[in-house]
Chains A and B, each alone.
Chain A
Amino acid sequence: MHKVVLDEFRGYYSRLPAEQLDVKDFVRREYALLHFGDQKMIRHLKFGGVSELKRSLVEGVPANVYYSSAYYRNPQADDMNAKGWEGADLIFDIDADHIRTDCKDEHDTWACLDCGCRGRGFPPDACPKCGMKKIDTVTWVCEGCLETAKREIFKLIDDFIVPDFGVALGEIEICFSGHRGYHLHVVSEGVRGLTGDGRREIADYVRGIGLDPKEHGFRQVTGTGPIVGPDMRDGGWRGKIARAIYEFVSGRSQEELRAVVGPVVADNISKSREKFLQNISDAPPHWGGMRGYSLESLLKIANAAAREHVCNIDERVTLDVKRLIRQPNSLHGKSALKTARVSYSDLERFDPLRDAVAFMGGSIKIYVKEIPRVRIGDCEVGPAKGTEMEVPRALGLYLLCKGAADPRV
């Protein structure tokens, strides 16, 4: 990595108050460092305290710093059995990269490594031309991506973590990852002992995997009798499905409904939309309060509506009982932004491209290879290609870390 980046990273860690590196039960965590240019992490590190960690960061200037979601008896042991696992926080990772957003067309490109076919936007699973799955991507994040990720983290907290899992806001920590998304740590004692299987169930719950509306009360009494179903005030997915259907039916055009249940049923429901909505929001609800649709159509709507309420988490992170996760207030080696802690009450106002900026003042001269429009703090540049410019220090370091620019003296 360029000397200027290493110098600035070292400067950041020298100035950082050590206590900002504290995490719950610090001495029971494994630490891992990844240095610029290295593929392999240095793992199984144990630090006696935050000052010791700070010293190591100032001396070594790693690109990325991780600590274990797990608590260990011997964090420094390199064999998992000898480490002595004693539980782990429950982690959720929301990454804008995994969410389809319209803005990706503006800033992301992909290329098939086999046939060279190229395109813009969200990368396909397989090359549309040759069908091979080796796709190279160049991705950027913009305000739009990060806003989508923020809405997703709100959904996670407001729709799942608090009402369904019963976790208090005081037992969660929210971090901007420093690049493309957010991490949510549930640090309550109650979740520490969860096994990988248990965590998988939680990840599946949030993603709506295996959700079956019939398990949540939708049935037809004796074949042709009235349809019964859940109440919007019910707990868990049961109530969520009922509310989702209400929202879906009230917010969709007739044409959109047709795409889900076919023309006849869609027209019937559209014609009596008000009545339908009134019926299903009654207490108790009257799912069979009018004619014109079958249980089967209702289930189709339920499934389509529920899909809009699932949360896009990276499930691999959640189900891992010993994940290495980014250290709060450390720098991200691909952005020079910091992994910033955000309280729930500040989250709405939080602007990651301003509030996670680690370098204030100063400017850097750089040569830009190719960039889309990029904003850091108040400064916006691009799209630009093959040009020299002088930019604020934080923006310059961002582009250098992304590999999209070289320093100029």
Chain B
Amino acid sequence: MLTKEDLAKYPFLDQSAAFIEGYNLTLSDLSAPAYSGIVGRAVERVRCSIEGGVSPLQLGDPETEILSYPLALALVYASRVRWLVNRFATFEAKRCEELLKMETAPKLAEVAKASFGWRVGMEDLRLEWERLTFSLGMAEYLEVAPQFHSPSWKLTNKYVDRGRVFLDAKDFARLLAENLKLRIIRKAGEEGVKDFELPAALQPHLGGIAGLLEGKRQLYEDEFPDGLVDDARPPCIVAIMNDLSAGKSLSHMARFAITTFMLNVGESVDGVLKLFGNVADFDEGKARYQVEHIAGITGSRTKYAPPKCEVLRSFGLCAEPDRLCATVSHPLNYYKRKIRAGSGAKAPTGGVAPTREGMRREKEKEKERGREGGGKGAQGRPR
């Protein structure tokens, strides 16, 4: 049985939505002074997610807890800042996971069913040092688990039987929380949410949130310096580029990976084509068409992203992963992190503009060296 307190703890439950509907409120109604507490709590939720603080649950006032959640989500979606959506989703998932860990097994199962409709089995499988008390349908497990990168989450390493995946309480709570995060993030792309406008009366609160975001801009700016920064390349990309320099013929996936990577870090189509110039079966016309297609200039106009680490691993393209590799799941994240780390040391102010400028200068120097030395790295090689 779910109580009002449960709804406050887990405001994403279907019952919470029903509870809110009972109030028959519109978003505009919330701007009335009578609801300032709810608005204040919603803004607080968003602020905490941005600043990384804790937002203690106010169980003394469950109504405010429940009603402030959808408003906080509305503020987040209306900001149209993807970083904030991710941040808020992560924050809510963490909060939820902590609470779930303290629940009894039947309550956990009830929350899973009432929030995501999961068909949870109550089990009692005792292994050497663990007790698996839950089972979940494989398809449901696979909706969420691929988000985790620890080997223990791989289906291969799970106790599986007749289409069910067995889990202990801790992992089950984690999975549930991660699913909440995924749902919040996915919803941002849905029709009606992606271009959601907040009622005018609530706009000022959005302004306040934008102010908070300004201070974090450096964290969520996705832009890279123009052109490839050699030192920030992940080992897999270095390996493919080495193969290219050696004139080796690449697999389709390797070509796709290097092309998408280069285009995504801001290299031009010509820059990418230069890379392939060394390969024996190079046909510029054909290659240009393919690279332009991948860049989204021709064809379906979809700009492709490089494959993530998992895909590269499956295709045998993950080469000599280093320590940073263990912490990322995408080669572009590696690149981004390396650039950020590099810039931290070089740019005294740590500002955005000097950083990029710094990296660009580095690259220029690299080019110079390439020209002088007769070709080091991708840029300096003759075609």
A residues with a Cβ closer than 8 A to B are 79-80, 114, 132-134, 163-167, 190-191, 193-195, 197-198, 200-205, 208-212, 215-217, 219, 228-230, 234-238, 315, 319
Contacts and interface: CB of A to CB of B under 8 A. Distances in A.
A197 B300 CA distance: 23
B158 interface: yes
Given A80-B300, A201-B154, 11 more contacts: A133-B249, A191-B139, A197-B310, A203-B314, A205-B154, A205-B156, A205-B160, A209-B154, A212-B151, A234-B159, A236-B161
A83 to B, nearest CB: 12
Interface of B: 127-129, 137-139, 142-143, 145-146, 151-152, 154-164, 166, 248-249, 280-281, 300, 310-311, 314
Q: Top 8 closest A-B pairs, CB basis?
A: A166-B163, A235-B161, A236-B160, A198-B142, A197-B146, A215-B157, A166-B162, A201-B155
Contact of A164 (B128, B137, B143, B161): B161
Given A132-B248, A235-B161, A315-B314, A190 B156 contact: no
A211 B281 CA distance: 38
B137 A190 contact: yes
Contacts, number: 105
A134 B155 contact: no
B257 to A, nearest CB: 15
Given A198-B143, A235-B166, A133 B156 contact: no
Given A165-B138, A165-B163, A236-B161, A205 B155 contact: yes
Contacts of A200: 146, 310-311, 314
B248 A202 contact: no
Contacts of B310: 197, 200
B159 A238 contact: yes
A236 B158 contact: yes
Given A134-B249, A134-B281, A163-B161, A204 B156 contact: yes
A156 to B, nearest CB: 15
Nearest to B138: A165
Contacts of B160: 164-165, 205, 235-237
Q: Which of B139, B280, B281, B314 has the most chain A CB atoms inside 10 A of its CB?
A: B139
30 contacts: A80-B300, A132-B249, A133-B249, A134-B281, A164-B161, A165-B138, A165-B163, A190-B163, A193-B139, A194-B139, A195-B142, A197-B142, A198-B139, A200-B314, A205-B156, A208-B156, A209-B156, A210-B151, A210-B156, A211-B157, A212-B151, A215-B151, A215-B157, A219-B129, A235-B160, A235-B161, A235-B162, A236-B158, A236-B160, A315-B314
Nearest to B128: A228
Given A198-B146, A235-B160, A204 B139 contact: no
Given A200-B310, A201-B145, A228-B128, A114 B280 contact: yes
Contacts of B248: 132-133
A255 B160 CA distance: 34
Given A133-B248, A234-B159, A210 B154 contact: yes
A38 to B, nearest CB: 17
Contacts of A114: 280
Contacts of A208: 156
A166 B159 contact: no
A237 B159 CA distance: 7
Contacts of A204: 154-156, 314
Contacts of B162: 163-164, 166, 235
B13 to A, nearest CB: 22
B204 to A, nearest CB: 37
A209 B314 contact: yes
B157 A210 contact: yes
A165 B248 CA distance: 41
A38 B128 CA distance: 59
A131 B281 CA distance: 16
